[in-house]
A = this chain, B = another copy of it.
Amino acid sequence: MSTEPRKYKPGKIREHNSQKILEAAECEFVKHGYKGTSMQSIADAAELPKANVHYYFKSKAKLYNAVLGDILQRWNEVLADMSEEGDPAETLENYIRAKVDLSIRFPQASKIFATEIIQGAPNLKEHIRTDLRHWVRSKTKIIESWIDQGKMTPVDPEHLIFMIWSTTQHYADFETQVLTITNKLEYEQEDVKKISDFLCHMILTGCGLKPTTSLA
């Protein structure tokens, strides 16, 4: 009877539940870290029995790695297409704005990534040593070529990248501190613009470049 006219397609429920679990897990891992998070609390947040979480993700470690994978994927969408022929000011500004945007929109992702690295990157060390290092190498080469072409002030390209990462991600990771100090409940559109404009001004000026937007 109830087996013939299915309300949902076979994989539909699975997909839906998996997604709910992943979102709940992301939220819990942010608040208590990997070891500090229990499968029970994830199940509660996902409104599913604990055994269900195990059924879908086998173990806590596998679930955590699934969450990390999701985050890295989102991260990789902002890979900044730089080229030696491109304009440094425009390229850097685009990258900074994209990173700020990502930090404001997905602070949780940034927070889990940060926690993972703070704790010594036990699950990401390989990714950093290979993928991320290569990405940085390719970008520093382009920045060096810009410098050789006299397009910008000679600054250390690696530290420039670290500066962009640290300043943009700060608004996600230290969200609580920033909002509390500025006496706000959440970021507004104008805050995002102000932050991006400020960071573009500071970083581009430091590189001897002229930001397209001036400060208020």
In the complex with contacts A133-B181, A162-B178, A165-B170, A155-B36 CB distance below 8 A = no
Pairwise interchain contact B165-A114, C-beta atoms closer than 8 A: no
Residues A161-216 near B (CB distance < 8 A)? 162-163, 165-167, 169-171, 173-174, 176-178, 180-183, 194-195, 198-199, 201-203, 205-207, 215
- Chain B proximity of A191: nearest CB distance (Å): 10
Q: How long is the Cα–Cα vector from A33 to B30 in the complex, in angstroms?
A: 11
CB neighbours of A215 from chain B (8 A): 153-156
Chain A interface mostly? helix
Given the known interface contacts A33-B119, A115-B33, A128-B177, the answer about A166 and B155 at a Cβ–Cβ threshold of 8 Å is: no
Taking A158-B181, A158-B182 as contacts, is the C-beta distance between A115 and B115 under 8 angstroms?
yes
